[in-house]
A and B are shown apart, each in its own frame.
Chain A
Amino acid sequence: MAQLTKSDIGGFLARQGILVAFAVFIIGFTLANPRFLDPDNIMGVIRSSAILGVMALGVTFVVISGNLDLSVGSMMSFSTIVVLDLHDKLGPTLAIPAMFAMTLCLGALIGFLVGYLKLNSLIVTLGMLSAIHGLTLTYSGGKNMDIADKEGTWFSVFGQGDALGIPVPILLFVLLAAFLGIVLAKTPFGRKVYAVGGNGVAATFSGIRRARVVFTCYLASAFCVATAGLLQASRSMGSQNTVGQGLELEVLAAVILGGASLLGGSGTIFKTVIGVLMLGFIQNGLLLVGLQFYVQYVVTWVIIILAVWLDIAAKRGTLWSPIA
């Protein structure tokens, strides 16, 4: 079969679809606006992807364990507001650990509901999305939060500083990705996450405490959200209480784009990082070709659909199947 048939091309697209689509985007954007491949632009994309990326790392754990986390956006708003508020009341040294502790409590609550009570993660985290939003508004009294003395604090170092010539947000993202990547790929805990997501019953029969694994995944997710909140607060030194709104979908899009299956049991941190960067470049490209930023909301959805479709197609080997 030397001749390429239509179904061969379909099969190739099905297997490598995401990379092909991404290559098409890059070429298209570069042709439309050569500035797209400018080193400054590339650095800018990576930098602005860092916050989303940090959140996606935690959600990767949750998704591989076979669950969803739709609460990360509003949880990130919460962390940002809390740390800004406490900064002026307690000073940065106490504000940061206090904010992490509060965020981890939220993660523990979700982990308890999904892991130990075995409630559906979609319902639990969708509910938490709304509940945490309410909590944030209550906490802030509906007002935006600002650091009063922006010059007299070292707090801005996380969002705006440089270390070793690299912007701190990028550095934190890379370090956290490396750490969590190793945890997932190399430790017994990581192995258990895959087992629980791949076949929860078989994991139980292998003596794995499923609830504890799921619980820990949500804690990891909350830790990442807290880190993202810290980066966000430190970058802007003040914030609206809806700053993380909508991020849950973008995070999910990045994770799926990286190739994690929503059914659980597959995906890696490395792939998620790739997914985050792809999403960042696509959004940046859309801006550079002159589209309004709110087009992104539609594009995010299109990307999710495309990624899920291609994921199924890759398993099937064809883009389209007549069998239900």
Chain B
Amino acid sequence: MPTQDITYREAIVFALQEEMRRDPTTLIMGEDIGESEGPFKTCQGLMAEFGSARVRDTPIAETGFVGACLGLSLTGYRPIAEIMFADFLGVAFDQIVNGIAKHRFMSGGKVKTPIVIRAIGGAGLRFGAQHSQTAESWMLSVPGLKIICPSNPEQAYLMLKAAIRDDNPVLVLEHKALLSMKGPVPVGTEEVAMPTGPKILREGSDVTIVGSLAMVGRSLAAADLLAADGVSAEVIDIQVLRPLDVTVVAESVKRTNNLIVVEEQAPTGGWSSDVVADVLTQAFDYLDSPPARITLPDHPLPYSPGLEDAMLPSPETIAATAKSLLE
């Protein structure tokens, strides 16, 4: 498949555009996404092409428009909601965890709920405590949801397309620090499939480093640092948080015998703990060192640039952790 070099943001736009062309029952709702094309320009050109019936500017009413997605999905549509900052998922929490995630089950499996909720989260842009969260762990414990996290333009494109075609509720967590990241994207891809597990992005033999979203790039950068010091790191993008299947990670650990999980979230209640627990179950005998988790500290994120930077797992920290495991 020929590729185009485009940004993560453009990849989102292409995915939305292609899927909305493909299926007239898709529609997208969110704040300032129509004429303004979204505060992050993730809906560029959509209103012009599809009109205001399918590209809907909503009032500031996350409970209302996210809940409305359930009603749309039950009656023949495939709604997509854009949550401008993932932090605002908090406003829609009830509709998602008690409604969207459970409705099919409560109907005895009789209804379908093809819903995509895209939320743009993440730290690093000095937005302070209420506009910097990735929201990865908020809904991790909710059965009935799929949660995916694209870490590069290609994934942003392929995973969003697959999510839109999926017949289930999918929460797509995007990262605002990645929006301008460029990479090759197979624009125009016809066949897509929802990823079912982690993906190895770089092969290595000494240590396995697992990350999501912006932490993937930092893990790859750490692998570069380690390579310069003769350490071979395997880097894995967890990409699917729910349902979580760590087999790929466990198989990797069987080869490298060391595990680091990097998560842009507080240390408690996040997916890195689940990864470690499941890998221990599957590959306990192969580990040469206790698995390490690198997370944010257990407090909200500060605003001041130096403070925010100090909170985020850096390639240097990841590399140093890897070396300490190998000592």
A and B bind? no
Binding site for A on B (CB under 8 A): none
